A and B are shown apart, each in its own frame.
Chain A
Amino acid sequence: MNDRLVNDRVVLDNVSRFYGEVLGVNRVTLSVPPGITSLVGPNGSGKTTLMNLMTGLVRPTRGEIRVLGISPADPERMFRVCGYATQFDSFPRGMTGFQFIYSYLRLFGKPHDECQRTTAFAIGRVNLGDAAHRKIAGYSKGMRQRIKLAQAIAHDPRVLVLDEPLNGLDPLVRAETIALFREFAAEGRHVIVSSHILHEVDTISDQVILLSNGYVVAEGKIHGVREEMREHPMQVIIRCTRANVLASRVFEQDHVVEVRLHADGGGLLVKTRDADRFYRALNHLALDGVGIESVAPADDNVNSLYEYLIGGEESTR
């Protein structure tokens, strides 16, 4: 991989981390491009360990990590380009939200006036302006999540690592926060989030990394990953008229493995090993009076990937 590419990516090369006998992550090799990347996996799958490794809070037992070409063992350079909102719900004692962000920024060596300005801006971005001068100890769970986010973005990092950032947020704030992630990603930055909430991951992610028991089981764009899973045929739902006619024609295709008519007779579920060929063929098959109302993939999402790859290890929300 050339230097320019490495300097633009978060790269993990054969990284393992063991806690004594316990496996954290094992032989993880990733090259995360800019955009929103979601780490998905059940509890204990290694999401937080991976984030802590990326930010130097834990050291790899084996392997090498580079964040935009910088080693996490070099915090002086690393945290000028990287912001991390951890899952730890604890803060330095006795501080207001403003003092917390301000003192954090001062450690970057920025002058007082700039820190004041930047603190106010970061707090404004997470809509906590009204509560900025209240003690964090009195904040709600959602406010604490937001002040952590403000701390992560305050120094305008190029890589944003966020551990379960949407936990505890109400729907409105959740939407605003997702919009903020998109804004960051649109500027060509990295936003790496971990989440359990699969439908949100589906909505916000440019790419996903699926983890199970410390191993990366899949990575890439959701659609691309889904297509790679040959042992699980793609499912397509078609709502149409004369569904039985379409069903018989569809079944003649060699890549179609199963067709099920909907109980109301107004549509069918098709399972195919080659979705692209199926979509191309559908234009011809749907002639002769078959009126197609809608065609939609039924399992081309993170939820299905999660189910197929990780199985019933943990129920999804």
Chain B
Amino acid sequence: MNQTMLRQWLTQIGLVIRLEMRKTFLSRRGLWVYLLALAPVLIFLAHSVSELNSRKERRALNDAHPVSTAALRSIDRGMTIEEVAGKVGEPFAKNEFHRPRISVDIYQYTDGENIYTFQFRNNQLVDINERDRDTIAKDSVIFAGVFQFFYLRLAIFFGCVGVFTNLFRGEMLDKSLHFYLLTPIRREILTVGKYLAGLIATVAIFCTSTLLQLVALSLHFTGSEISEYLAGPGWGHVAWYLGVTAAACLGYGSIFLACGLLFKNPIIPAATVLVWEGANMFLPAALKKVSVIFYLQSLSPVVAPPDANLPRFQRLLITSAEPTPAAWAVLGLLTLTILVLAVAARKARTLEINYSTD
């Protein structure tokens, strides 16, 4: 391979990327990918708006029924309603339930941040419930759950199905792939060019979405809370989440590009991959490693707890495998990507134009 040839290949890859970007980025057909990517942003935005409203409401209630945090924290179990009211005044909400021999009174207070619920049984405080306002630590676990169980497994997965399978299969359906094959370009170079175009598009779309999700989630925190978080693990989390998003596009992209080349109906292999990736948590440790999601979860900065609503039987089936160290996870993903791309390029080399049967 001489330098002229290498330069020509790089130029051709650049040109294929430019042509494909126009089709992938600005097409009406790709609109659903944007919607899929933006769905979690809307969820987190709604969460932040709701949190901001709740906080405003709590402050208004505290203004109407002023009480300090210290006073509320000084309340202990066993106190009577009169003792509590003497210390913290009248609650903003009061509920009473009376049954034979039992009377239940529920008093709610707020210091403007948290809500304290005191439950009295027969005039004696039996339960104190402190509903904390959201903290960054709490929200980062929620984010990790949404990121790993919705964003990686569904949004990026299906986004990559849409973008990468269409790079070849879409053009076969449009009957326009032959125009590429009538140019003096090696099919392997075409495959790499198309893959990189899809990768740039998906990384741009999904990384932007990841960033917007983090911004949307942080909207209801104060500037000082955010500064404190960023000074701690914050920037690291942002970088890792962006990296994992890009890695997901890299791994899933190569698989679905190959699916588009190898199968007339790539939806069937895509569904198979979806089932395999979805069942990953139930697979034995050795099989877990034969998937993209395992490496992506290993790279994720915050561990997402399993779904609390999962039936007990299914929880028993969950197996754990030691997360792979970051360097190995990256290496594993890169190896998988290169192998799958090599298979795709080999198929492209012998690709035929026979639109009537495609």
Enumerate chain A interface residues (CB-CB to B < 8 A): 19, 52, 55-59, 75-80, 83-84, 86, 88, 90-94, 103-104, 106-109, 151
Nearest residue in B to A77 (C-beta to C-beta)?
Answer: B184
Q: Are A106 and B15 in contact (CB under 8 A)?
A: yes
Q: Are A92 and B354 in contact (CB under 8 A)?
A: no
- Distance A19 CA – B355 CA, assembled complex (angstroms): 13
CB distance from A68 to the nearest CB of B (A): 14
Q: Are B27 and A93 in contact (CB under 8 A)?
A: yes
- Distance A52 CA – B15 CA, assembled complex (angstroms): 25
Q: Are A109 and B178 in contact (CB under 8 A)?
A: no
Partner of B352, one of A57, A92, A94: A57
Residues from chain A with a CB closer than 8 A to the CB of B15 are 103, 106-107
Q: Are A57 and B174 in contact (CB under 8 A)?
A: no
Residues from chain B with a CB closer than 8 A to the CB of A57 are 178, 181-182, 352-353
B122 within 8 A of A: no
- Distance A84 CA – B352 CA, assembled complex (angstroms): 15
Partner of A75, one of B11, B22, B183, B357: B183
Partner of A107, one of B22, B184, B353: B184
In order of increasing CB-CB distance, the 8 nearest A-B pairs are A90-B175, A107-B183, A57-B353, A79-B184, A58-B352, A76-B184, A88-B175, A92-B176
Residues from chain A with a CB closer than 8 A to the CB of B11 are 109
Q: Are B183 and A91 in contact (CB under 8 A)?
A: no
Residues from chain A with a CB closer than 8 A to the CB of B357 are 19
CB distance from A110 to the nearest CB of B (A): 10
Enumerate chain B interface residues (CB-CB to A < 8 A): 8, 11-12, 15-16, 19, 22-23, 27, 174-176, 178-187, 350, 352-355, 357
Q: Are B23 and A92 in contact (CB under 8 A)?
A: yes
CB distance from B58 to the nearest CB of A (A): 53
Partner of A58, one of B174, B176, B354: B354
Q: Are B181 and A56 in contact (CB under 8 A)?
A: yes
CB distance from A118 to the nearest CB of B (A): 14
Residues from chain B with a CB closer than 8 A to the CB of A88 are 175-176, 178, 355
Nearest residue in A to B181 (C-beta to C-beta)?
Answer: A57
Given A90-B174, A93-B174, A109-B12, CB of A75 within 8 Å of CB of B187 = yes
Residues from chain B with a CB closer than 8 A to the CB of A80 are 184
CB distance from A45 to the nearest CB of B (A): 16
Q: Are B179 and A104 in contact (CB under 8 A)?
A: yes
- Distance A147 CA – B174 CA, assembled complex (angstroms): 18
Nearest residue in B to A90 (C-beta to C-beta)?
Answer: B175
Given A103-B19, A106-B15, A107-B12, CB of A55 within 8 Å of CB of B182 = yes
Q: Are A79 and B183 in contact (CB under 8 A)?
A: yes
Most buried by B among A52, A75, A84, A107: A107
Most buried by B among A80, A88, A104: A88
Q: Are A58 and B353 in contact (CB under 8 A)?
A: yes
- Distance A94 CA – B30 CA, assembled complex (angstroms): 14
- Distance A93 CA – B184 CA, assembled complex (angstroms): 21
Given A103-B19, A107-B12, CB of A79 within 8 Å of CB of B182 = yes
Complex A-B: 20 CB contacts under 8 Å: A57-B181, A57-B352, A58-B354, A86-B178, A86-B182, A91-B176, A91-B179, A93-B27, A93-B176, A94-B22, A103-B19, A106-B15, A107-B15, A107-B184, A107-B185, A109-B8, A109-B11, A109-B12, A109-B184, A151-B179
Nearest residue in A to B8 (C-beta to C-beta)?
Answer: A109
Residues from chain B with a CB closer than 8 A to the CB of A77 are 184
